[in-house]
A and B are shown apart, each in its own frame.
Chain A
């Protein structure tokens, strides 16, 4: 990435940080208590042919926490992600979300249950604008189907602030109601803009995703995932390719995401970021869990140091 891009994105974040006062519109409603088990990997094993990608992995994610998932390259972090979001089905073991078995369920259904993710190698819809990308996320929570779109059949009695201002339209809306499609589109647009502002890229909302600078694309992915109102959001190396200033911003963003009511699972290579932002950390190596605990515990764990921190690459 060019230096220019970094400069752009960091200045923009400054603007946004002033804007964090109120995000009631994008905060989510949660149905459980903080600290209860939200997602559980129960003796999960995943094999591809002869290769064991995950071997008897157990860990839990509790509601309201920021959990870090770390490990050297090829440790099985992304595979675990894929298993949680329905891309792969575990060979053995169970994955439970809010007590419900989700192994083998289709990805879009898992999303509806309340898990969203970002991708390590950015996978936006490149020919759609930033706004439209987030709208697709919002659509996941919307109900209007084809018939509703075509004939506006499903009418809703609008609240006072949803009524149009002008005379005739106002009277019509009072008598016939407003179609759910219209209300959802309106709410979706508002929410999308709010989310873009939240992650700090609202200034380029109407640009095509593929034309956005790298840092913006990373954050757009987060906005798109948040738009689906997930109880659990999984971030796959969100800081990849970021400079220290951007990483600092990202840590703030992750905390603010938790404050909105989301539980956060983050895969990350950068130890400083992981130790700085997470409440607990799970360490994988060769598809097996080798440690779990608070950042301090993990940082002191000799196994982890040997497997991961000891490597000169990461120490640098």
Chain B
């Protein structure tokens, strides 16, 4: 079992070593609008958790709360056994701790967000050199390997604006891999891409899944989620409506809302 609901959280203690991320009873409100209404989720090492749901279901917000790009309203977040200390209002107690935890969470954005004033290689070595203090030569060597791996070895000295969306997103994945993340967070990585470019990005993500990387993946690609995920979570209006192994969730959805959702997205 990859994911527990909140009722089962007490019996997880022996499992702690293998836990990559544990989120307990996460709430998030924007003003009076409550976007997350108590979401709990545990990802173990090697899990690929796909988070699906309709527009406004809170799936992106949930992912962004894990690395505090959004400040949760309440709840508990544990990354690699380290609990992120929050005040009563959800703001982190120590920015240093957030920064340290974030360096272990490689995030890939919907809009790529490659740094436009730097070449691909500079994008990939930026965090290793200036945050993780890796020696420059070592960072460059590793970055070249990573760019090769995502098929962009020949574009190392190119600026992001000269590349297609698919190439930019693959470079963004290389940038995330450069920090040796313990968990990768994908926030709708293919939603901003032209249809013919989706495949090349999914291929890269599929390879990462195959090598056993821990990943949380917010996606609209149902076929892909079914293929690569070890666990699927369906969010509806800020709550986990249904979750389980992909074959079960897609093959035999129990909740009426999920059935309807799967029908509309085809």
- Bound together: no
